[in-house]
Amino acid sequence: MTVFIVLVLTVAAFAFIVYPFFKRKFGIVDTPRDTELQELHSRRDTTYSMLKELEFDYQSGILTEEDYRELEKRYKRKGISILKNIDQLGEGADLDDDIEAQIKKMRRPESEARFCPQCGEKYRAGDRFCTHCGTRLNGKEDSV
């Protein structure tokens, strides 16, 4: 009996140790659109930091005003281009929002739920009698 328990514990310990090596990685798979959006966000952040560094260099006297204005204009154009690309990729998210809105519209909102004044059972707007207790519904009951 002791040998059996030791054997079971050994197998369990071995399985516990080896399990992570064989476990499949479950998670959200990034779509190419998500990857591209992440890359654009990274480039945007880099451009912002370059503009800040450029401003610091100008304030420190490292850059002349002419060089500063030229580089600033170049980085701002690059930043605007990146922001436009982010907006274009973000339009696909609006489609998801539209789908969710339509689903909510198709579902019956809880604010329209009506309850029988006699038994408290839920009923639909067109019902004339409660399906649970048979009480006549005149349609003037309060919505909850």
What are the φ and ψ backbone dihedral angles of 131, each rounded to 5 degrees?
Answer: -75, -15
Q: What is the pLDDT of residue 142?
A: 43
Q: What is the pLDDT of residue 143?
A: 43
User: pLDDT 10s digit of each residue in the chain, 144 long?
Assistant: 888 899 999 999 998 888 877 776 555 556 777 788 889 999 999 999 999 999 999 999 999 999 999 999 999 999 999 999 988 887 656 666 777 777 777 665 555 667 788 888 887 777 888 888 888 887 554 444
Asked if 110 and 143 count as a contact pair (C-beta separation under 8 A), the reply is no
Asked if 125 and 112 count as a contact pair (C-beta separation under 8 A), the reply is yes
Total-model pTM: 0.46
CA–CA distance, 85 with 80 (Å, rounded to integer): 9
Burial class (CB in 10 A: 0-12, 13-18, 19+), 36: middle
Q: What is the pLDDT of residue 48?
A: 93
Residue ranges per structural domain of the chain: 32-107, 108-144
CA–CA distance, 49 with 39 (Å, rounded to integer): 15
Q: Which CATH code for domain 108-144?
A: 2.30.30
